[in-house]
Structure 1
């Protein structure tokens, strides 16, 4: 089976090398459609042996992606953006999946959102069979899903699968990336234009509604997200996103009862479990905020059951266990968080607090030392505050030797 990488790019000289390096040994051809770069993007693409084509930008991602598909010759297509990389060793699993599953027309891939403030995972339709009826739709957040659904209705023997391991790392929604590329403004303008012509499109209601909430336009976001649910056009994955983002929106306006209701609705939907991670975590935060510690503990435990390596979930569980005075269990939760993320300053700090509560001063001071060292790099004021607080309590960190490096 011949596998083609298909990309659209513009001024991606910084990110593109890492993207192409991650996939060059997996794919049989690289097809890149440049939409007007003025930097070294095209030169870099040529260095990786890519076939480079050009397309004038027209504020329509689906138009560009569909043009790129015209140049692809492989049996299967893998679509990446320049701010994405293929996880090491996933290339072999992708090759195996397309070779073995002859009835699959689409294999969904799990993507981790690096640095995202909300949902850490998403399922993306980026690996599909080259078929004349599979095309992208929607000018922003372009997807092939609509055409795949239409194809399955005409040819029901085709199947859709997914790979369970994280396949793609995406760094495009970190705050710095959003600011540098003005992504919010571009997204808003394109989606608003599309929604004016398709007012009940549930997918766009979800994406644009979530964007409004992110921009602080919570009332507009809530109205749009509720419109998406009321349209009754949303599939299960989109319905999950609608409820999830309503949970965020109502939290922002401090309507916690509504927020909890929508997070609960999201967690009950039959979507891939990893996608529910953030909903359970946010639900736990709300329960903790409203004083329902038992429910918060259960929500965090569900998040960790889905992903035992979810550092934030383990940390949050430690926080609620500490508040419940279950100190031994809290210590274990903080330690699990630190096993996953050894640079988690707040986890060290609260581990120090909890060790102190159970009378282990030496372990407490060692944890505080590590917390201060990490805070000094990222949050110097907190490092000063923590050090002064310990001194005021009569503790001298110099008496205790930290074990292990950072």
Structure 2
């Protein structure tokens, strides 16, 4: 049976490390948690889980650190996680089956980007055979893809496969995490240094462009995305990202034609359906803004076929149905949404409006009160007060 090793690099992760290690402790045969200069209890926590904890001085290069950590791995296969990630234990049988196949070299995993304002899923090369020629490259967003590509040119019998189930939950997109780790500044410096020497690298064009878009450097972002597309070196996943990010920028700039064009080009890429969720949803948002409710509704329906738990898809679909006058259908979608996300205050508020339009006043009143209660529970007093005052003005609120 193939031996599986966890391989991580960490620094000052005492708050979140335990959750990560708990998720793999009954899955992996070995834990290598390399510390790069922690001043908190990170090392102590890792050791409590029985991890091997080598140390390595941080040098602003993720690939260098990850490759150093690989030196301590003794397993046949390597699972790479960050401290803000958790393994979905339900996929353990599929992982075991995949690593048992002698021809497999890399198992790409679907990662759920919890809290991401963009596409909720990504594909990551985080499970791979321990091979002397498989290593990480790039100082930020370090990946094994470059070395794997070179290896396949020499040893073509190896296979790269995608595991379709959601395997990893990533919590790094929550605002508090991003702010506390100062991720933007660190990422920008590392990628800008790399792209000076590799100006036509599509992967870095995509990642740095996305970062520029997040921090308001939109012209630089568009330039990089176009640069990545012109290189003709991007694989299908990077092509998807480049078109998707361009679509987002054009949508923000209200250049709807260009936005739809790039979202469609992203959708046309031969990548797994969950990875296309963001493009389907965002093309719906653009069509909805144009008043093309029929096609917007179709886009949202597609998102729900891909992922029946996609909350944003339900919310947008229900709003579109309301705009189309399909009020009973909108009620059904809002109720499905609330069954999946029972603390979604805005959903209750919108549902109350639909009930009011249907002249179902008791149901409307109950939903409005629930929305206000949830806003207050979530310390969103402004929304609670605004909604209460609006209802008072309309004569719909009774203390």
8 Å Cα contact 1:353-1:364 kept in structure 2: yes
What is the alpha-carbon distance in structure 1 between the residues aligned to residue 267 and residue 362 of structure 2? 42
Contiguous gaps of at least 5 residues in structure 2: none
8 Å Cα contact 1:345-1:371 kept in structure 2: yes
Q: CA deviation at 1:91?
A: 2.8
Q: Which residue of 1 aligns with 2:382?
A: 381
Q: Which residue of 2 aligns with 1:311?
A: 311
1:189 aligns with 2:194: no
3-state SS of paired residue (1:89): helix
What is the alpha-carbon distance in structure 1 between the residues aligned to residue 98 and residue 158 of structure 2? 15
What is the alpha-carbon distance in structure 2 between the residues aligned to residue 92 and residue 40 of structure 1? 33
Q: CA deviation at 1:333?
A: 1.3
Residue correspondence of structure 1 range 110-129 to structure 2 within 5 A: 110-129=110-129
Q: CA deviation at 1:396?
A: 4.0
What is the alpha-carbon distance in structure 1 between the residues aligned to residue 263 and residue 377 of structure 2? 35
Q: Which residue of 1 aligns with 2:63?
A: 62
Q: Which residue of 2 aligns with 1:238?
A: 238
Using the TM superposition, name which of 363-372 and 25-34 deviates more. 363-372
What is the alpha-carbon distance in structure 2 between the residues aligned to residue 352 and residue 88 of structure 1? 39
Residue correspondence of structure 1 range 3-82 to structure 2 within 5 A: 3-82=4-83
Residue correspondence of structure 1 range 209-224 to structure 2 within 5 A: 209-224=209-224
8 Å Cα contact 1:345-1:370 kept in structure 2: yes
3-state SS of paired residue (2:142): coil
What is the alpha-carbon distance in structure 2 between the residues aligned to residue 342 and residue 332 of structure 1? 14
What is the alpha-carbon distance in structure 1 between the residues aligned to residue 271 and residue 239 of structure 2? 10
1:173 aligns with 2:173: yes
Q: Tell me the TM-score normalised to structure 1 length.
A: 0.95
- RMSD over aligned Cα atoms: 1.2
Q: CA deviation at 1:386?
A: 1.3
What does the per-residue CA deviation read over 1:177-209, in whole Å, with 9 as the maximum and x for residues that have no partner?
111110000000000000000010000000000
3-state SS of paired residue (1:27): coil
What is the alpha-carbon distance in structure 1 between the residues aligned to residue 395 and residue 102 of structure 2? 69
Q: CA deviation at 1:323?
A: 0.4
8 Å Cα contact 1:348-1:367 kept in structure 2: yes
Using the TM superposition, name which of 25-34 and 156-165 deviates more. 156-165
Q: CA deviation at 1:344?
A: 1.1
The runs of 4+ residues in structure 1 deviating greater than 4 Å are none
Q: CA deviation at 1:90?
A: 2.5
Q: Tell me the TM-score normalised to structure 2 length.
A: 0.97
1:325 aligns with 2:325: yes
8 Å Cα contact 1:311-1:336 kept in structure 2: no
What does the per-residue CA deviation read over 1:258-308, in whole Å, with 9 as the maximum and x for residues that have no partner?
112111111111111101111111111111112211121111111111111
What is the alpha-carbon distance in structure 1 between the residues aligned to residue 364 and residue 163 of structure 2? 42
What is the alpha-carbon distance in structure 1 between the residues aligned to residue 138 and residue 306 of structure 2? 32
What is the alpha-carbon distance in structure 1 between the residues aligned to residue 351 and residue 97 of structure 2? 44
3-state SS of paired residue (1:39): coil
What does the per-residue CA deviation read over 1:313-356, in whole Å, with 9 as the maximum and x for residues that have no partner?
01100001000001111111111211211111111111111111
Q: CA deviation at 1:397?
A: 5.3
1:121–1:397: structure 2 CA closer, same or farther, 3 Å change rule? farther
8 Å Cα contact 1:26-1:92 kept in structure 2: no
What is the alpha-carbon distance in structure 2 between the residues aligned to residue 84 and residue 127 of structure 1? 14
Q: CA deviation at 1:174?
A: 1.4
What is the alpha-carbon distance in structure 2 between the residues aligned to residue 154 and residue 240 of structure 1? 27
3-state SS of paired residue (1:234): coil
Using the TM superposition, name which of 305-314 and 199-208 deviates more. 305-314
8 Å Cα contact 1:22-1:88 kept in structure 2: yes
8 Å Cα contact 2:98-2:104 kept in structure 1: no
